[in-house]
Structure 1
Amino acid sequence: MTTVVGNLAPAVAALAAAPILAQSLGVTGRGELAAATAPFLLAVTLATLGVPESATYAIARSRAVAARTTRRALAILAGAGAVAAVVVVLLAGVLAGGDPDLASLVMLGAAAIVPALAVGVLRATAAGLQAWGLVARERVTGAAVRLGAVAALAAAGALTPLTATVATAAAPVVAGLAYLPLRGRLGTGAVAPPLLGYGLRLWVGSLSGVLLARVDQVLMTPLAGAAALGLYVVAVNISEVPLVLSAAVRDVTFSADAAARDDARLTASARLSAAASAAVGLVVGVTMPAWVPVVFGAGFAASVPAAGLLVVAVVLGVPGSVAGAGLSARGHPGLRSASLAVAAVVNVVLVLLLVPAHGAIGAAAATLVGSLLSSNLNIWWLRRVAGVPMSAFYGVRRSDGRAAVRALRTVRRR
């Protein structure tokens, strides 16, 4: 339960902060915040080089290497983070669409890249030591600090793109203090194993997923302006409501299928999670014209069409997301990465073609195409390597009710 709370806290906090940011900053201000923080978030993810995962793996295999592995990982990512920060600073003017004030915010976010990477290493060390309480504490603290800072600044009338950028960049660093108790658990330690070999194999596979999720927000300001990005970010926030449920099902499916392969259970999970996400998405889609202007502000009513496309993208991508978990669980993570790579290339091309003329709608359409492509490629790969019919991932069967009961029992036990 501790781990579940830790995983859910950032998503819940982000959803809670979204209306506050939108109401306080307006369309353009919300876009400026996203333009300032998107390069920071993308750089932090790209600069990991797979080192945190490699550190977790090494420490989990032998706790004696924890101290030196942690120091080596910190040294590697300090260098990688410094390079990433310099690149972001050099590109700040381009990423800000030529706005010097916005470029300053982008550079401010870049200053937090190295500290955020350091926190990622400490999180990896804690995971390798099975210190899940510390991991959950860090995640909850980071979510609470960001949400609390945003709410307090808004209440004081001091929430601006600048202060919101500081809160967003500083929250994960402050949360890293949760790992202070690790100092007493590391000891002196044995010689640390190499980290980059194992880590880079994982990192290369995850790059496409990162690009698919982040690159549109990084490119939107130079292509269409901060106001278009402001509308798109709110549309993304709205579409994440049905995504929370499917993500939970995907994680449980991965664990269950890795333990014991079961095609019927896998496909039933895909169908049920898709049906549940569709039900949530339908409610969100039908009602959002009424509540979006109230919750986010009248200026964000224009985000509704883009949000509708993104909700459809999320719902239609659920079966393939579960299929991707099945591929990874059955020893074929590279095939899932290949699906994401193809989708990422198509998505970037469509963003470049559609966003300048169509703004948030163009970005949402590009995401929809990318989601459909990666989803169905995952299902196609699973048919090739495991013989699971593609049709088994769609629709609802009479037997799915019993599968739903079993899934709920599994989730409760976990």
Structure 2
Amino acid sequence: MKRWLELLLFGTGPLLALAASPMLARGLGPEGRGQLALATAVFALGYTIGNFGQAECLAADLRRESSAEAKSRYRIVGLASLCAGSAALYWLYANDLGFPASLAVAIAVPVSSVGLMWRARAVAENRVTLVATQAAIPAALRLLVIVALFALNALTTFNAITVSMVTTSLGVVFLWVILHKPTSSREPAPKLKSASLPVRTIRSSLAQGVPVLGFALCTSVVLRADLFFLNGLSTPAQVGFYAVAVAVTESALALSAAFKNRMQAAIYTPDPRRNVKRESAVMLISAAPAVLVGELTAAPFTRLMFGDEFTPAIPTLRVLILAAVCLMLVDCAQGVLAVLGQRTAMFASSAIGALITVALLWLLIPALGALGAAIASLCSYAAIAAMAWAQTYRTLKTLN
């Protein structure tokens, strides 16, 4: 029963995002929708780099029941996320997004970077329902505001970006409040004192985070380079077409997030290998009907939801539906490897995937535009999934 509640909560986010997608497409048009997608990509890249791999390191620490480096990890995240937010502000403003919208993204970056630490702690405590709730609440608030703006004919690129950043930050605040709320069965979370830390401890935390950061950068190339390459090698309209297709298929990531957190929690159980296999099998069985329906209804769905203006996005959507399955496998395998402490394996698979992504994007986008970006994503996701799951099963065998 608990699993289905978590799946429902995780599924709420993508369903609500899907409900908002037609309003964003019709209200912003292809070019405005493309700008929103670029801002979101920069935000995701920023808070990932700003975390500096410390959330994954903290998860591994908690698995070993060690908290000696917790303070240094939080301090690293604080400084790195402020730098990442500043870089996001500069890049977006330099690319004509406008200062207010760029500032909204820059402020949300450090908030979400720290939020990854709290998320790791919630997973380690097997509070996956809390993580799922934290994903659903911002999506609900975001949809309500977008509906109101669309009804008032006041939906602009700036408003859409600001709503996304503010609601995401509110979700992080919600997670912090619940995690730090004392309960009858759990002691209050220990406060991190501001005492000075040995330089050796900080260096150790940085060194542990570097492989994860390298993995995060390579993963960001795999997941986000498509939009940046499209922005540089194709037209703004192609960016918008691709963004619409990605928005539809992003529901797969929410489904994988639910199973990834369950797989990560399964690592802490007496039989992690069996439990991880069970969760991966249930995930694939759950995804199969959605893939079939998506492929059969891609054309009428796109025209009905987004209008004839987005008809060129149909072939891209069909390819990305298949790519979404591979991305689910990548997301879950990398999440399990992070908890298992297999940082080198994470980096190796993502680095190879990044090279494949860049090469295919460079070759395919000039001729095929958004469709070329989709094909490149499908190929790179499939390659990474194969390598990551092979390493995952090899490592799980050693735990039994």
The normalised TM-score by structure 2 is 0.77
User: In structure 2, do the counterparts of structure 1 residues 271 and 123 end up closer, same or farther at CA, with 3 Å as the change threshold?
Assistant: closer
**Deviation of 1:61 (Å):** 6.6
Give the aligned partner of residue 236 of structure 1. Answer: 246
- Find the aligned partners of 2:329 and 2:273 in 1 and give their Cα distance: 16
User: In structure 2, do the counterparts of structure 1 residues 265 and 151 end up closer, same or farther at CA, with 3 Å as the change threshold?
Assistant: closer
Encode CA deviations 1:28-74: one digit per residue, 9 max, x unaligned.
Answer: 21112112232122111111112234445557777987xx946x555
Q: Given that residues 15 and 251 in structure 2 are in contact (C-alpha distance below 8 angstroms), is that contact kept between their aligned partners in structure 1?
A: no
**Deviation of 1:319 (Å):** 6.5
**Deviation of 1:247 (Å):** 5.6
Q: Given that residues 262 and 279 in structure 2 are in contact (C-alpha distance below 8 angstroms), is that contact kept between their aligned partners in structure 1?
A: no
User: In structure 2, do the counterparts of structure 1 residues 296 and 57 end up closer, same or farther at CA, with 3 Å as the change threshold?
Assistant: same
User: In structure 2, do the counterparts of structure 1 residues 152 and 57 end up closer, same or farther at CA, with 3 Å as the change threshold?
Assistant: farther
Give the aligned partner of residue 206 of structure 2. Answer: 196
1:305 aligns with 2:315: yes
- Find the aligned partners of 2:63 and 2:287 in 1 and give their Cα distance: 35
Give the aligned partner of residue 77 of structure 1. Answer: 77
Q: Which one has the largest radius of gyration?
A: 1
Encode CA deviations 1:348-374: one digit per residue, 9 max, x unaligned.
Answer: 222233223322111101101112222
Give the aligned partner of residue 42 of structure 2. Answer: 39
The one-letter code matched in structure 1 to 2:40 is: T
Could you tell me which of 208, 223, 227 is aligned with 1:213? Answer: 223
**Deviation of 1:225 (Å):** 3.2
- Find the aligned partners of 2:327 and 2:173 in 1 and give their Cα distance: 37
Encode CA deviations 1:252-297: one digit per residue, 9 max, x unaligned.
Answer: 556557743768994x876775465344212211112112111122
Encode CA deviations 1:182-216: one digit per residue, 9 max, x unaligned.
Answer: 27734556777654344334333343223211222
Could you tell me which of 5, 14, 18 is aligned with 1:15? Answer: 18
Encode CA deviations 1:72-96: one digit per residue, 9 max, x unaligned.
Answer: 55543332122223323343366x3
Identity %: 25
1:114 aligns with 2:110: yes
Q: RMSD between aligned alpha carbons? A: 4.0
Q: Given that residues 92 and 104 in structure 1 are in contact (C-alpha distance below 8 angstroms), is that contact kept between their aligned partners in structure 2?
A: no
Give the aligned partner of residue 30 of structure 2. Answer: 27
Q: Given that residues 59 and 69 in structure 1 are in contact (C-alpha distance below 8 angstroms), is that contact kept between their aligned partners in structure 2?
A: no
Unaligned runs of 5+ in 1: 388-414
Aligned pairs, how many? 379
Q: Given that residues 64 and 189 in structure 1 are in contact (C-alpha distance below 8 angstroms), is that contact kept between their aligned partners in structure 2?
A: no
Q: Given that residues 274 and 316 in structure 1 are in contact (C-alpha distance below 8 angstroms), is that contact kept between their aligned partners in structure 2?
A: no
The one-letter code matched in structure 1 to 2:110 is: V
Secondary structure of the residue aligned to 1:47 is helix
Q: Given that residues 11 and 255 in structure 2 are in contact (C-alpha distance below 8 angstroms), is that contact kept between their aligned partners in structure 1?
A: no
**Deviation of 1:163 (Å):** 0.3
**Deviation of 1:245 (Å):** 4.9
Could you tell me which of 150, 155, 178 is aligned with 1:154? Answer: 150
Give the aligned partner of residue 260 of structure 1. Answer: 271
Q: Given that residues 10 and 257 in structure 2 are in contact (C-alpha distance below 8 angstroms), is that contact kept between their aligned partners in structure 1?
A: no
Unaligned runs of 5+ in 2: 183-187
**Deviation of 1:307 (Å):** 0.7
- Find the aligned partners of 2:274 and 2:373 in 1 and give their Cα distance: 35
Matches within 5 A, 1:364-379: 364-378=374-388
The one-letter code matched in structure 2 to 1:92 is: L
- Find the aligned partners of 2:149 and 2:120 in 1 and give their Cα distance: 32
Structure 1 window deviating more from structure 2 (240-249 vs 110-119): it is 240-249
User: In structure 2, do the counterparts of structure 1 residues 144 and 28 end up closer, same or farther at CA, with 3 Å as the change threshold?
Assistant: same
**Deviation of 1:127 (Å):** 5.5
Secondary structure of the residue aligned to 2:51 is coil
Structure 1 window deviating more from structure 2 (246-255 vs 10-19): it is 246-255
The normalised TM-score by structure 1 is 0.75
**Deviation of 1:21 (Å):** 1.2
User: In structure 2, do the counterparts of structure 1 residues 36 and 379 end up closer, same or farther at CA, with 3 Å as the change threshold?
Assistant: closer
Q: Given that residues 35 and 226 in structure 1 are in contact (C-alpha distance below 8 angstroms), is that contact kept between their aligned partners in structure 2?
A: no
**Deviation of 1:161 (Å):** 0.4
Give the aligned partner of residue 390 of structure 1. Answer: none
Could you tell me which of 128, 140, 144 is aligned with 2:140? Answer: 144
- Find the aligned partners of 1:132 and 1:357 in 2 and give their Cα distance: 44
1:173 aligns with 2:183: no
